[in-house]
């Protein structure tokens, strides 16, 4: 059964959809940059053994250009993912809140793996970034799929 959505509810849904689309685009950009860094960039030897915080800071300040952009877009992605959770919570739909929360956790997991990658350049941390990004992409694509794009909303969802 469809009911007309209020203009406030419509704006919130449109905001969540826009937020999810932006996160999806950033994840695709991150994926491409990550592949480039993994295949072509040389990480400074001084970064070996760096902890997560130091790894992130060094990625921005010392890394090759692609790595610096990758880290900056990743930080923006964390902000976007957090915003999506807040938007979903304001809509008061458990499914949307759960999916965006999983997306945020996947983004944070990928970011922590990436910061660890700076310190160890290990294949398992690279794979962890990839898995985190893939899970997050699925989450934000799912939000786009399950949220109505029209001015009506399904009562059941």
Contact 66, 34 (CB under 8 A): no
pLDDT, mean of residues 84-100: 95
Task: Please report which helix (H) or strand (E) contains residue 141, including its range.
Answer: helix 123-146
The candidate with the shortest Cα–Cα distance to 140, out of 20, 22, 31, is 20
pLDDT digits (tens, 9 = 90+) for 114-123: 888 877 878 8
* Mean model confidence pLDDT for the chain: 86
pTM of the model: 0.84
- Residue 59 has, within 13 A of its CA and on its CB side, a CA count of 31
Tell which wins on pLDDT, 79 or 7: 79
Q: Rounded CA gap, 57 and 73, in Å? A: 13
CA distances from 139 to 29, 34, 53, 98, 104 (A): 16, 19, 26, 9, 9
Contact 132, 113 (CB under 8 A): yes
pLDDT digits (tens, 9 = 90+) for 33-43: 988 988 888 77
CA distances from 131 to 22, 31, 58, 111, 140 (A): 19, 10, 23, 11, 14
Confidence of residue 151 (pLDDT cuts 50, 70, 90): very low
**Domain parsing of the chain, residue ranges:** 2-154
Tell me the backbone φ, ψ of residue 2, rounded to 5 degrees.
-105, 140
């Amino acid at each position: 059964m469809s009911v007309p959505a209020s203009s406030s509810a419509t704006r919130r849904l449109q905001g969540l959809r826009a937020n999810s689309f932006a996160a999806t685009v950033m994840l695709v950009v991150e994926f491409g940059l990550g592949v480039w860094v993994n295949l072509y960039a040389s990480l400074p030897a001084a970064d070996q053994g760096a902890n997560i915080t130091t790894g992130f800071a060094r990625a921005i300040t010392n890394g090759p250009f692609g790595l610096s952009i990758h880290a900056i877009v990743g930080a923006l992605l964390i902000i976007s993912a957090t915003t999506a959770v807040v938007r979903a919570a304001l809509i008061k739909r458990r499914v949307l809140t759960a999916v965006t929360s999983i997306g945020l956790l996947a983004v944070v997991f990928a970011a922590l793996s990436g910061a660890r990658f700076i310190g160890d350049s290990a294949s398992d941390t690279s794979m962890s970034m990839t898995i985190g990004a893939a899970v997050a992409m699925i989450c934000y694509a799912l939000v786009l799929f399950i949220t109505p794009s029209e001015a009506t909303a399904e009562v059941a969802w």
